[in-house]
Amino acid sequence: MADAFNFELVSPERLLVSEKATEVVIPATLGEMTVLANHAPTMTTVKPGIVTVKLASGQTNQYVVFGGFADILPTGCTLLAEAAVPMSEINRETLQKRIEATQADVNAATSHEHKTKLEEYLAQLTDLHGAILPA
Amino acid sequence: MPSLKDLKNRIASVKATQKITKAMKMVAAAKLRRAQEAAEAARPYAERMNKVLAGLSAANAGNAEAPRLLAGTGRDQVHLLVVATGERGLAGGFNSSIIRLAREHALKLLAEGKTVKILTVGRKGNDVLRRSFRENIIDYVTFREVKQLGFAQADEVAHKVLALFNAGEFDVATLFYARFQSVISQVATASQIIPAKFEVSEAADASAALYEYEPGEQEILEDLLPKNVAVQIFRAILENNASFYGAQMSAMDNATRNAGEMINKLTLSYNRQRQAQITKELIEIISGAEAL
């Protein structure tokens, strides 16, 4: 039995999860990373993707997050997501709406830098869309 | 002297008003609970954000290349006031206390020769401030159509603020809202959002140095600072919302009580007059009979 640590998933609107977990997979910007207990203190940005949480009780939960960042300490891990929904509640329409909104933002962006950033975000979203909702 | 009929009408109308204020009070109480829960649910995120940023900004203090959202533009000439008020009135001094604070602030800055720009969030603030600062108001956001206040709305405001900042339209941004203390006390508050200010605690200082950053420290800071603006605005909107219902609840409670007092007074004078009329009629009948 692996050591457990505190995992918190927070969105600006509410605290989604605050439980003991043994293993959390985070879609970090530089690639997926798995957090176990006693992880070195790390701060990383998170891209849109799926967070997999293995709880100390053995249950595995999945959440879809839309960007944010994670604060990892040896004793715990806090994921601050811009928006987060349990995997079971996600559906095609909400995701599609988000993609369309980002697309509109891309078209409206004036500065080059901003546009690149948004396009990257859009690509990540489309990736996610393909990954969780195979057509 | 109002006639009996007049008094009767007035009593009926005050009673109708009392019914309305009573209903409004109960609606406000129910909504207050929801708003309060929302404000509390948003707290962990804002606190974490603040902690992380406090650490990062302490590490970046004095860094010449620190993002402008943190370090400021180096000037202090153009001020942006983001004034968040309610969409509706009938909430006692709620809107006017925020507006008063914002107005005092604006007048002080103008007296110092600074340029003031105002962005109003919420209809009430816009209506009132437009009278005295018509040419200072640059934008106006309303949530009138929005049923459930969410992060998306705050993000929309933050986008506007950040776009203005990136275009060099202002140097310092201050946010005005009512902080929710309790149902009977809401405090109008001004807080500076750009350049960002954090309450730096000793603990944050020490732990920040140990972190590994992915990608780099700078990138994370640049990513987080705009988000922080949105989070601050979101918190202000939620606090405002809770304050609004708190203020409305106590205002409506007062109104209901005043209506009750008024009904009592009117009923008293109605009964007196009715009595006087009966007496008068009796005297007329008796004196008529005696004359025969």
Instruction: Give per-residue pLDDT as tens, B104-147.
Output: 999 999 999 888 999 998 888 888 888 888 888 888 888 877 77
Work out the pLDDT band at A50, boundaries 50, 70, 90.
confident
Q: CATH 2.60.15.10 in chain A, residues?
A: 5-87
Tell whether omega for the bond before A74 is within 30 degrees of 0, i.e. cis: no
Contact A45 B215 (CB under 8 A): yes
Cα(A10)–Cα(A34) distance, integer angstroms: 18
> Among B87, B93, B82, which Cα is nearest to B186's?
B93
How many Å apart are CA B132 and CA B105, to the nearest integer?
Answer: 13
- What single letter denotes the amino acid at residue B89? G
CB-nearest partner of A12 from B42, B52, B207: B42
- Give contacts of A82 with chain B, Cβ < 8 Å: 151, 227
Residue B183 phi/psi, 5° resolution? Answer: -60, -35
| Distance in Å, alpha carbon of B24 to nearest chain A alpha carbon | 27
Q: What is the mean pLDDT of residues B57-61?
A: 71
In chain A, which residues have their Cβ closer than 8 Å to the Cβ of B227?
82
Q: Is A135 on the interface with B (CB under 8 A)?
A: no
C-alpha dihedral sign at A84, A89, A92, A96: negative
Strand-pairing partners, residue B137, are B118
Q: Does the structure show a pLDDT above 70 at B199?
A: no
Task: Provide φ and ψ at A71, rounded to 5°.
Answer: -120, 110
The whole-number pLDDT of residue B270 equals 95
Determine whether B291 is exposed, middle or buried from the number of CB atoms within 10 Å of its CB (0-12, 13-18, 19+): exposed
ipTM over 0.90: no
Architecture of domain A5-87: Sandwich (2.60)
Which burial class, exposed, middle or buried, applies to A109 when counting CB atoms under 10 A from its CB (0-12, 13-18, 19+)?
middle
- Average pLDDT score over residue span B205-231: 75
**Chain B residues close to A40, C-beta within 8 Å:** 212
Summary mean pLDDT of chain A: 82
Cβ of A42 and B150 within 8 Å? no
Distance from CA of A69 to the nearest CA of B (A): 8
Contacts of A76 in chain B (CB under 8 A): none
CA separation, residue B65 to residues B56, B60, B70, B204, B222 (Å): 14, 9, 10, 22, 11
Window 85-114 of A: residues touching B by CB (8 A cutoff) are 111
Contact (CB<8Å) B52/A11 = no
Count of H helices and E strands in chain A?
2, 9
Residue with tokens 């919420």: B122
Residue B93's pLDDT band (boundaries 50, 70, 90)?
confident
Q: Do B41 and A69 touch (CB under 8 A)?
A: no
Structure tokens at A2: 């692996």
**Interface contacts A/B by beta carbons within 8 Å:** 68
